[in-house]
């Protein structure tokens, strides 16, 4: 029995030493990603309609593995947003008649095909716990700009969240799942009457920043995020991954707004 235990202990010791060696050395890499997101928005403050968006994601990533994992990810999303039940619509605007009684009219497209842009920046730091468990924190910035109720609509969220990740070694890759829940956030969203036009402001978004920015915590903003995926590591040092993600956001001011989005992403890390 002793003959078996000692070699196992030796092997484990070597493994631990190697692991410590790996974590002590700094290993940085860059990556790119592409994917697709489908989302739903209901903003009682803006429209009685339920909106659906479909956007393409592209982005870049940076990972640095040292004493902890630093993970930076920037995602840009562009696509279409429209009321789910009604789709893309056009309306006819009529001008005031001229002196001859002629009335000019023109069509407006309420929701053109490209009607949504959005950006997400995520910076997270994760420390290794026992086994595949990792715990850390993330800083997330999110801005959405789209059309809703035949007008502009935007939502900005900057939050800090504890983040948990579990990794499981499977074949030549890692199966990973992560979860985060913002505890503190700054939110900018259209105020009650939507209109922040002020005598000393020349930019509506700056007006919104001044009149409708809020610092909120979990009791107001509930915005959990989940991601699961598999990353295949090539012997050449590159890696290829695919993941599914989902996020929910609910915010009550000035009237309830709820969003759900989910999608898939393919990631590629360079050597």
Partner 1 sequence: MKKIWFIGLLFILVSSCEKYIFGVEYSNNPEDNFEALWSEFDQMYGLFKVRNVDWDAVYDQYKPMVDDQTSDEELYHVLVDMLKILDDGHVILLPVGTDLPMYKGGPIGRIDTIQDFDLDLLKEHYLSEPQETDFAILYDWLEDGIGYVYFYNFADGEKSFDKEIKPVLDFFKDAKGLVIDIRGGEGGEDIAGKTVASHFTEEQRLYMTTSIKNGPGPDDFTSPEEWYISPRGDFQFTEPVVLLTNRLTISARETYALAMRTLPQVTIVGDTTAGAFSNLVLRELPNGWGYSMSIGDWRAADGTSYEGVGLPPDIVLQNRRGDVLSGKDEALDKAIELLR
Report CA torsion sign: 99, 103, 108, 110.
positive
Q: Is 217 an interacting residue with respect to partner 1 (CB under 8 A)?
A: no
DSSP 50: P
- Shortest separation between residue 191's beta carbon and partner 1, angstroms: 7
Calculate ∠ Cα 27-28-34, nearest 5°: 135
Q: Is 47 an interacting residue with respect to partner 1 (CB under 8 A)?
A: yes
Q: Is 112 an interacting residue with respect to partner 1 (CB under 8 A)?
A: no
Tokens of 109: 């497209």
Q: Is 106 an interacting residue with respect to partner 1 (CB under 8 A)?
A: no
Q: Is 206 an interacting residue with respect to partner 1 (CB under 8 A)?
A: no
Q: Which is nearer to partner 1, 25 or 105 (CB)?
A: 105
Q: Which is nearer to partner 1, 87 or 162 (CB)?
A: 87
- Shortest separation between residue 125's beta carbon and partner 1, angstroms: 30
- Shortest separation between residue 164's beta carbon and partner 1, angstroms: 20
- Shortest separation between residue 144's beta carbon and partner 1, angstroms: 16
Binding footprint of partner 1, residue count (CB under 8 A): 45
* Beta-carbon contacts of residue 8 (< 8 Å; ≥ 6 apart): none
Tokens of 204: 């509506």
Q: Is 133 an interacting residue with respect to partner 1 (CB under 8 A)?
A: no
Contact 62, 82 (CB under 8 A): no
CA nearest to 160, candidates 181, 177, 144: 181
* Beta-carbon contacts of residue 182 (< 8 Å; ≥ 6 apart): 140, 157, 159, 160, 161, 218, 221, 223
For tokens 């994992």, the residue is: 69
Q: Is 97 an interacting residue with respect to partner 1 (CB under 8 A)?
A: yes
Contact 132, 149 (CB under 8 A): no
Q: Is 110 an interacting residue with respect to partner 1 (CB under 8 A)?
A: yes
Q: Is 202 an interacting residue with respect to partner 1 (CB under 8 A)?
A: yes
Binding site for partner 1 (CB under 8 A): 40, 42, 44, 46-50, 52, 83-86, 89-94, 96-101, 110, 149-151, 191-195, 197-199, 201-203, 244, 254, 256, 258, 260
């Amino acid at each position: 029995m002793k003959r078996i235990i000692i070699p196992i202990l030796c092997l484990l010791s070597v493994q631990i030493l190697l692991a410590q060696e790996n974590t002590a050395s700094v290993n940085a890499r860059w990556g790119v990603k592409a994917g697709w997101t489908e989302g739903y928005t209901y903003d009682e403050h803006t429209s009685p309609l339920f909106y659906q968006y479909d956007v393409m994601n592209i982005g870049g990533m940076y990972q640095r593995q040292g004493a902890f994992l630093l993970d930076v990810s920037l995602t840009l999303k562009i696509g279409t947003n429209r009321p789910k039940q009604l789709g893309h619509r056009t309306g006819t605007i009529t001008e005031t008649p001229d002196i001859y009684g002629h009335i000019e009219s023109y069509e407006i497209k309420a929701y053109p095909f490209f009607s949504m842009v959005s950006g997400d920046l995520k910076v997270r730091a994760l420390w290794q716990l026992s086994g595949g468990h990792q715990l850390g924190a993330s800083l997330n910035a999110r801005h959405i700009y789209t059309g809703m109720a035949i007008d502009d609509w935007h939502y900005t969220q900057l939050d800090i969240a504890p983040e948990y990740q579990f990794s499981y070694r499977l074949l030549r890759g890692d199966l990973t799942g992560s979860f985060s829940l913002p505890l503190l956030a700054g939110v900018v969203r259209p105020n009650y009457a939507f209109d922040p036009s002020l005598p000393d402001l020349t930019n509506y978004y700056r007006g919104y920043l001044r009149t409708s920015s809020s610092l909120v915590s979990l009791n107001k903003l509930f915005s959990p995020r989940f991601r699961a995926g598999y990353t295949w590591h090539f012997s050449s040092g590159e890696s290829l991954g695919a993941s599914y993600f989902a996020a929910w956001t609910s915010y009550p001011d000035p009237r309830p707004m709820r969003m759900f989005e989910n999608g898939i992403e393919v990631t590629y890390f360079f050597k």
